[in-house]
Amino acid sequence: KNEVEQSPQNLTAQEGEFITINCSYSVGISALHWLQQHPGGGIVSLFMLSSGKKKHGRLIATINIQEKHSSLHITASHPRDSAVYICAVGPEETSGSRLTFGEGTQLTVNP
């Protein structure tokens, strides 16, 4: 079993829909990251969180440390949100920037 699991693997939505991507992890963590990867490879860090909830524009990330679960929500989705969304965790016992990644969720938003 992977230490970080995401669901769903693939998601197709219509423009304007509310989207949720889930991430579960099995290890103690210092922080959880949500990343966005567009075709061509470039990765952008969307959120880093260790508790509660963060919001940036139409994106919301939540984490429940007790349940070892995080969600990424996209409100009013748009075709430009089409990308791979990756959940990654920094292990609790490690200093520095070592990350363990989920397999990613391919999101396609149709106009």
Partner 1 sequence: KAGVTQTPRYLIKTRGQQVTLSCSPISGHRSVSWYQQTPGQGLQFLFEYFSETQRNKGNFPGRFSGRQFSNSRSEMNVSTLELGDSALYLCASSFGGLGTFQTYEQYFGPGTRLTVT
Would you tell me which residues interact with partner 1 (CB under 8 A)?
29-31, 33, 35, 40-45, 48, 86, 88, 90, 92-104
Q: How far is the CB of 28 from partner 1 (least distance, A)?
A: 9
Residue among 61 and 77 whose Cβ is closer to partner 1: 61
Q: How far is the CB of 111 from partner 1 (least distance, A)?
A: 27
Q: Are residues 87 and 4 in contact, defined by beta-carbon separation less than 8 angstroms?
A: yes
Q: How far is the CB of 4 from partner 1 (least distance, A)?
A: 10
Q: What is the DSSP string of 4-72?
A: EEEE-SEEEEETT--EEEEEEE-S-EEEEEEEEE-TTS-EEEEEEESSEEEEETTEEEEEETTTTEEEE
Residue among 35 and 74 whose Cβ is closer to partner 1: 35
